């Protein structure tokens, strides 16, 4: 029985290695894609285009503007009227517009209620609002207001507030989900399409074993990718700190990929061809990712969705992985995550076995 | 008038189609005049479709095609004649849209061709509907039509714009015999009344007599052309009653006939069109191996009744695939399950194997009543199965495939290797052992699939359309193998096919029609019942006419 099981695993790995396209996709995803995600996605302001209309005659306004410099801002551009500035914002040439009214300087010097008008392109939401905070603190420091209170910030878990490694890790976790679901689903659907699945069902080997062997082969492929990605990109390029145990992460990843392969199995059970795999995978995975807290923390969701999020294995995986990387949670204390992932996986396999893994 | 005739003439000269490094069809020339029906006959992959696509102007080709005084050499140049051509590609209902009704199809195709919907058009449309027998079904959606009706609808859609050149790629394959007759009736009418040139390909030899001229395709070449009678005459001197006395590389035996290029002692025999392929093979000096099957390694007792079922039914939604079928497969018997596409052959085999659930009825396999999937576990090692389209792993070589299947049957590697070597030699695919499954000719693929199903020496074989699309020669060889397996291994074989002519190789045949069993008897008895029948095709037709 054991040798049969490994014969299937080995055959699937061989098939995978023979498919140049699949190998290329997996290699690309685990290296370049994660690197790009880490390097490219930035929510801090960079090269923000500022435009202004100055009717105040200069002085204070020039002093304020002189604080907007690179790398956060490109040199502010002057416009002659508010209309021109609005047009430029409309055309996406300018993200933040400042309008200094003609009584701006006068009111300011008289220490009256002075108003600086800010026009903000709120479609680039996070960049726009972070820019706004910059502006506020520039104005505050410009004022040099003394209040008897100071914020002393202690950054925990990610001391350098390093956004890159965080983004790269999040990308890796989502990517693992995508790949293991799609790879597994394709393995089964291709067999269904070619008719080899019927042949396998009629072989004197328990179909459950065949299914487990085939999913294991895809788990091995993805685990290989994970290790590659950790070595070259996560640790190699981004120097992501690892406060917990490396092996806890590998163990959790293994459990997680195995249960996510169950999603792939489920997709394969309901899909007729590879085309439908793509369609169903997206329909099933988008809500799983939304509900997992990968994009917004679970506690900010509507209570109904918070309940639903218990059914997303990705939720346990993300919480577990972040605990390992940033909080350094010990191996045994991670048991809720192990169990969460395992229980959901178990249910998915039972459905998969029932759907495609039996004779009548 | 003579000029006009010349104008109408259709010429194909030196046309070849190549895909990358593969030649699909090479150097074909023929001509046709108005009102002629030209038939293309040959196996899958022989080049029929490629030539049709070249003529229809949908693939690149070399050579020249001229029609209506205009010649073209490329798909681009063919644009100008497309208003005069109608093309129906291979595959049942391929050009139809599931959710459109018959009438919506006709309106849609008329709009595509930008036809004016005047009184003349409406009259023609009515005539087409009447001719195809679809008048009563104008409001029925395409997905609810039978295969035959779908093909008739596809045909009249291609006829709406009154093409002068009609190109039909296997319109009758897999269609029930009655619908096939009706399709031919429509074609004859169109050729006569509209003077249309019709090019039609088919997998059925019997249809040759309905064509004005036949082109025989084999291995990317046209090996013969002429009327069906001329073709048969051409091989008359080479066909004899079966002779076992004399054998060399210039002769071969198949079924009850001997083919020989050198004179034989036995009496001459009335040749068939199939014979052309055998004589051609002899002329090409191709080595046609006689297959040898050795005794099985393990001898197991086979029960007298291998499979028995009562009242087996299967329903998919509102579609009844199989209705109350009783069947019995005895020890050492070849049972042919015959029927058109959609008659329920594959569904029935899949129920026997447990790939589909049985809605109603009882099944006993190898003496064991089957109640659930658990009952099948121990039978798995006694059953061999070849599925439609020869299911094999495409990214593995023939040898790797066979070794993999052997390991699934827990045959140890040494025994497996020797058995694979033996089968490869016996079934003649030794030279392909290292090739990938998708690079094989269909006939080799077929033999290698059966080798895969035989590795564990089963007691019963279930074969689902193993001969579909395979050329005449390979089919003949395949039946030879089955005959020997029955004889030497003593196993039972249940085989499905839509070639009625293959009934003669079976001990007993079961005819399925719309999911129901309409006949279950030996071939001899069936001929006795219908003495006027010329071929098994005619017998099948009787059953189709009989009960509506």
At B46-100, the pLDDT tens digits run: 888 889 999 998 899 999 998 888 888 988 888 888 888 899 888 777 888 988 9
Integer Cα distance of B206 and B500 in angstroms: 10
A128 shares its domain with A266? no
Q: Which residues of A touch B356 (CB under 8 A)?
A: 360
Count Cβ atoms within 10 A of the Cβ of residue A345 and give its class: 0-12 exposed, 13-18 middle, 19 or more buried: buried
- Cα torsion B146, B152, B154, B156 to 10°: value is -150
For the question of whether the overall pTM of this predicted structure is more than 0.80, the answer is: no
Pick from B358, B381, B410: CB nearest A360: B358
For chain B, give the percent of residues with pLDDT over 70: 96
Q: Which residues of B touch A19 (CB under 8 A)?
A: 395
Contact A85, A97 (CB under 8 A): yes
As a whole number, mean pLDDT of residues A293-321 equals: 83
Q: What is the pLDDT of residue A226?
A: 94
Interface residue B405 vs chain A (CB under 8 A): yes
Enumerate residue ranges in chain B where pLDDT < 50: 1-5, 548
Q: What is the pLDDT of residue B54?
A: 92
Chain B closest-CA separation from residue A350 CA (Å): 16
The answer to whether the Cα torsion of B246, B252, B258, B262 is positive or negative is negative
Q: What is the pLDDT of residue A44?
A: 66
Q: What is the pLDDT of residue A145?
A: 67
Name the CATH topology of B305-546.
Answer: Rossmann fold (3.40.50)
A28 shares its domain with A70? no
Q: What is the pLDDT of residue B299?
A: 72
Answer with the one of A143, A176, A199 that is the final residue of a domain.
A143
Interface residue B459 vs chain A (CB under 8 A): no
CATH value at residue A88: 3.40.1710.10
In A, minimum Cα distance to B452 occurs at: A199
**Degrees (nearest 5) of the Cα angle A143, A146, A149?**
130
- Residues A158-180: pLDDT tens digits? 555 566 777 788 888 888 988 99
A186 shares its domain with A325? yes
Integer Cα distance of B363 and A92 in angstroms: 73
**A119 located within any domain:** yes
Name the CATH topology of B2-219.
Answer: Rossmann fold (3.40.50)
Q: What is the pLDDT of residue B4?
A: 46
- Residues A217-262: pLDDT tens digits? 999 999 999 999 999 888 888 888 888 888 889 999 999 999 899 9
The ranges of chain B annotated as CATH 3.40.50.300 are 2-219, 305-546
Contact A94, A76 (CB under 8 A): no
Q: Which domain holds residue A220?
A: 2-41+162-356
A123 shares its domain with A219? no
A173 shares its domain with A213? yes
Q: Which residues of A touch B380 (CB under 8 A)?
A: 202-204
Residues whose CB is less than 8 angstroms from the CB of residue B171 and which lie 6 or more positions away in sequence, other chains included = B88, B151, B154, B155, B183, B200, B202
A336 shares its domain with A195? yes
Q: Do A7 and B408 touch (CB under 8 A)?
A: yes
Residues whose CB is less than 8 angstroms from the CB of residue B418 and which lie 6 or more positions away in sequence, other chains included = none
A184 shares its domain with A304? yes
Count CB neighbours of B232 within 10 A.
Answer: 19
Output the 3-class SS for B250-317: CEEEECCEEEECCCCCCCECCCCCHHHHHHHHHHCCCCCCCCCCCCCCCCCCCCCEEEEEEEEEEEEC
**A154 located within any domain:** no
Integer Cα distance of B511 and B496 in angstroms: 10
Q: Which residues of A touch B357 (CB under 8 A)?
A: 360
Q: Do B405 and A203 touch (CB under 8 A)?
A: yes
Chain B closest-CA separation from residue A193 CA (Å): 9
Q: What is the pLDDT of residue A183?
A: 93
Q: Do B396 and A11 touch (CB under 8 A)?
A: yes
In A, minimum Cα distance to B437 occurs at: A194
Q: What is the pLDDT of residue B3?
A: 44
Pick from A3, A205, A359: CB nearest B373: A359
Burial B440-467 (b: 16+ CB within 10 A, else e): bbbbbbbbbbbbbbbbbbbbbbbbbbbb
A12 shares its domain with A134? no
**A155 located within any domain:** no
State the pLDDT confidence band at A329, using cuts at 50, 70 and 90.
confident
Q: What is the pLDDT of residue A43?
A: 61
A254 shares its domain with A116? no
Q: What is the pLDDT of residue B362?
A: 92
Q: Which of A203, A272, A353 to mutate to test the interface with B (most CBs of B within 10 A)?
A: A203
Q: Which of B322, B407, B436, B450 to mutate to test the interface with A (most CBs of A within 10 A)?
A: B407
A313-322 and A335-356 helices, crossing angle to 10°: 150
Q: Do A7 and B387 touch (CB under 8 A)?
A: no
Interface residue B393 vs chain A (CB under 8 A): yes
Element housing B493 (H / E): strand B492-497
A116 shares its domain with A228? no
Residues whose CB is less than 8 angstroms from the CB of residue B284 and which lie 6 or more positions away in sequence, other chains included = none
**A152 located within any domain:** no
In B, minimum Cα distance to A4 occurs at: B408
- Residues A14-35: pLDDT tens digits? 999 998 999 999 999 999 988 8
Integer Cα distance of B455 and A319 in angstroms: 51
**Degrees (nearest 5) of the Cα angle B544, B507, B172?**
35
Element housing A78 (H / E): strand A77-78
Integer Cα distance of A188 and A356 in angstroms: 9
Chain A closest-CA separation from residue B492 CA (Å): 18
Integer Cα distance of B12 and B30 in angstroms: 5
Number of domains forming the structure of chain A: 2
B442-454 and B413-426 helices, crossing angle to 10°: 140
A224 shares its domain with A247? yes
Pick from B351, B376, B391: CB nearest A194: B391
């Amino acid at each position: 029985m054991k040798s049969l099981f490994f014969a299937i695993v080995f055959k699937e790995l061989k098939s995978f290695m023979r498919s140049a396209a699949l190998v290329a996709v997996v290699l690309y995803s685990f290296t370049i894609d994660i690197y790009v995600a880490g390097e490219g996605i930035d929510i801090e302001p960079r090269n923000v285009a500022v435009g202004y209309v100055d009717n105040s005659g200069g002085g204070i306004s020039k002093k304020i503007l002189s604080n907007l410099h690179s790398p956060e801002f490109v040199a502010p551009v002057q416009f002659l009227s508010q209309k021109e500035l609005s047009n430029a914002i409309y055309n996406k040439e300018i993200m933040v517009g400042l309008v200094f009214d003609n009584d701006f300087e006068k009111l300011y010097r008289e220490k009256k209620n002075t108003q600086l008008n800010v026009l903000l392109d709120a479609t680039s939401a996070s960049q726009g609002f972070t820019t706004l905070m910059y502006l506020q603190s520039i104005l505050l420091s410009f004022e040099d207001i003394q209040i008897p209170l100071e914020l002393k910030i202690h950054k925990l878990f990610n001391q350098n507030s390093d956004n890159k490694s965080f983004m790269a890790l999040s990308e890796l976790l989502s990517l693992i989900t995508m790949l293991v679901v799609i790879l597994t689903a394709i393995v089964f659907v291709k067999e269904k399409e070619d008719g080899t699945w019927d042949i396998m069902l009629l072989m004197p080997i328990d179909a459950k074993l065949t299914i487990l062997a085939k999913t294991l082969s895809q788990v091995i492929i993805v685990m290989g990718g994970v290790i590659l990605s950790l070595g070259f990109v996560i640790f190699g390029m981004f120097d992501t700190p690892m406060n917990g145990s490396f092996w806890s992460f590998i163990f959790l990843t293994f459990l997680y990929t195995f249960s996510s392969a169950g999603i792939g199995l489920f997709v394969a059970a309901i899909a007729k061809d590879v085309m439908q795999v793509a369609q169903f995978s997206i329909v099933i995975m988008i809500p799983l990712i939304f509900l997992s807290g990968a994009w917004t923390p679970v506690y900010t969701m509507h209570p109904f969705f918070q309940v639903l999020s218990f059914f997303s294995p990705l939720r346990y995986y993300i919480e577990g992985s972040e605990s390992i990387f940033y909080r350094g949670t010990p191996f045994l204390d991670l048991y809720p995550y192990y169990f969460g992932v395992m229980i959901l996986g178990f249910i998915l396999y039972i459905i998969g076995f029932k759907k495609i893994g039996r004779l009548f | 008038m003579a000029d006009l005739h010349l104008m109408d003439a259709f010429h194909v000269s030196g046309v070849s189609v190549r895909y990358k490094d593969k030649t699909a069809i090479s150097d074909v020339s023929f001509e046709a005049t108005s009102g002629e029906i030209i038939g293309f006959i040959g196996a899958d992959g022989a080049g029929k479709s490629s030539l049709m696509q070249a003529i229809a102007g949908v693939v690149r080709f070399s050579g020249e095609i001229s029609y209506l005084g205009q010649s073209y050499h490329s798909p681009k140049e063919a644009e100008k004649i497309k208003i005069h051509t109608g093309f129906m590609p291979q595959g049942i209902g391929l050009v139809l849209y599931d959710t459109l009704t018959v009438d919506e199809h006709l309106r849609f195709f008329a709009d595509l061709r930008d036809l004016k919907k005047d009184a003349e058009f409406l009259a023609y449309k009515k005539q087409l509907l009447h001719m195809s027998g679809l008048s009563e079904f104008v409001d029925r959606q395409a997905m609810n039509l039978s295969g035959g009706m779908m093909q008739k609808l596809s045909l009249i859609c291609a006829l709406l714009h009154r093409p002068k050149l009609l190109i039909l790629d296997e319109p009758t394959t897999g269609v029930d015999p009655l619908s096939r007759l009706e399709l031919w009736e429509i074609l004859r009418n169109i050729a006569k009344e509209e003077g249309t040139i019709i090019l039609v390909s088919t997998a059925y030899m019997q249809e040759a007599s309905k064509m004005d001229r036949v082109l025989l395709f084999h291995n990317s070449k046209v090996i013969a052309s002429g009327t069906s009678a001329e073709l048969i005459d051409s091989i008359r001197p080479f066909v004899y009653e079966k002779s076992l006395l004399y054998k060399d590389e210039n002769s071969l035996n198949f079924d009850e006939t001997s083919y020989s290029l050198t004179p034989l002692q036995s009496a001459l025999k009335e040749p068939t069109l199939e014979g052309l392929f055998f004589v051609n093979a002899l002329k090409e000096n191709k080595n046609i191996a006689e297959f040898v099957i050795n005794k099985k390694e393990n001898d197991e007792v086979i029960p007298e009744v291998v499979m028995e079922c009562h009242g087996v039914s299967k329903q998919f939604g509102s579609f009844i695939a199989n209705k109350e079928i009783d069947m019995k497969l005895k020890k050492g018997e070849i049972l042919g399950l015959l029927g058109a596409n959609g008659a329920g052959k594959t569904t029935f085999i899949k129920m026997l194997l447990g790939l589909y659930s049985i809605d109603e009825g009882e099944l006993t396999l190898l003496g064991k009543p089957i109640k659930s999937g658990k009952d099948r576990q121990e039978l798995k090692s006694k059953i061999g199965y070849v599925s439609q389209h020869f299911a094999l792993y495409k990214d593995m070589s023939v040898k790797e495939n066979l070794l993999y299947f052997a390991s699934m049957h827990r045959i140890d590697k040494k025994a497996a290797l020797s058995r694979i070597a033996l089968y490869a030699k016996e079934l003649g695919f030794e030279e392909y052992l290292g090739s990938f499954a998708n690079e094989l000719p269909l006939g080799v693929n077929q033999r290698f699939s059966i080798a895969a199903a035989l590795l564990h020496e089963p007691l019963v074989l279930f074969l689902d359309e193993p001969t579909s699309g395979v050329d005449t020669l390979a089919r003949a060889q395949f039946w030879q193998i089955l005959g020997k397996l029955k004889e030497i291994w003593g196993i039972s074989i249940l085989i499905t096919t839509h070639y009625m002519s293959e009934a003669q190789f079976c001990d007993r045949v079961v005819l399925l029609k719309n999911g129901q069993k309409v006949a279950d008897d030996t071939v001899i008895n069936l001929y006795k019942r219908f003495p006027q029948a010329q071929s098994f095709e005619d017998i099948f037709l009787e059953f189709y006419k009989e009960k509506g």
